[in-house]
Structure 1
Amino acid sequence: MYLTPTIIAFNLEDYMLPCLNKHLTGIDCPGCGLQRSVNLLLHGEFIAAFQMYPAIYPILVLLAFLVTSSFVKFQRSNQIKMILTLLTVGTVIISYILKMNNLFN
């Protein structure tokens, strides 16, 4: 009797939350695409994840730093957090403006 390994396929798309803003107004919110981008990252599609939501990588760097800094003390930790936060927020805002500009042109 042979045992075949079972791979549990977890499909994140089955658990994605709908965007209430897009549902009510028909316009994407600044967070639209984040869940799909994470799903693409989990499937190894790094370029497609960036194209879906350009702020995915600054968010991941910020989260990694926040988690790491809770265990390891860094010099100038507050300044690093502030820079990473501004980079993340700036990326979200700029990508949203570019998306909305392309939508209305």
Structure 2
Amino acid sequence: MMSPEDYMLPCLNKKFFGLDCMGCGMQRSIAFILNGDFIAAFHMYPAIYSLIALIAVIFINYFRNFKHAYKIIIILAVMNAILIVGNFIFKTFFN
């Protein structure tokens, strides 16, 4: 039987240069969420839950504008950028 991992795309950055990219771990993190392993998903890619929140707010705001949506989106985007870059630095230099 096929599993979600069988459909994952390889990271070209890791394949060609041997280094993780800033998105490495996102696909596996989503697979962990789909399997119900939420802690492993966070350990694989710490920005996954804030990314899900950002996408949800953007999606909801697209169909139904709400007050302060722009500020919430900016805050979530900055938080995601910090988490993604921080995780990349941690994996690259301290792992």
Could you tell me the TM-score, scaled by structure 1's length? 0.85
Task: Find the partner of 2:74 among 79, 82, 89.
Answer: 82
Could you list the per-position Cα deviations for residues 57-89 of structure 1 after superposition, in whole angstroms to 9, with x for gaps in the alignment? 110000111111112211122111111111111
More off after superposition, 32-41 vs 70-79: 70-79
Structure 2 stretches of 5 or more lacking a match? none
* Bigger RCO (CA 8 Å, 6+ sep): 2
Q: Which amino acid aligns with 1:73?
A: N
| 4+ long deviations beyond 3 Å | none
Q: Pick the structure with greater CA Rg.
A: 1
Number of corresponding residues: 95
Check whether the contact 2:50–2:76 (CA below 8 A) recurs between aligned residues: yes
Q: Percent identity?
A: 43
Identify, as 1 or 2, the structure richer in helix. 2
Could you tell me the TM-score, scaled by structure 2's length? 0.94
Structure 1 stretches of 5 or more lacking a match? 1-8
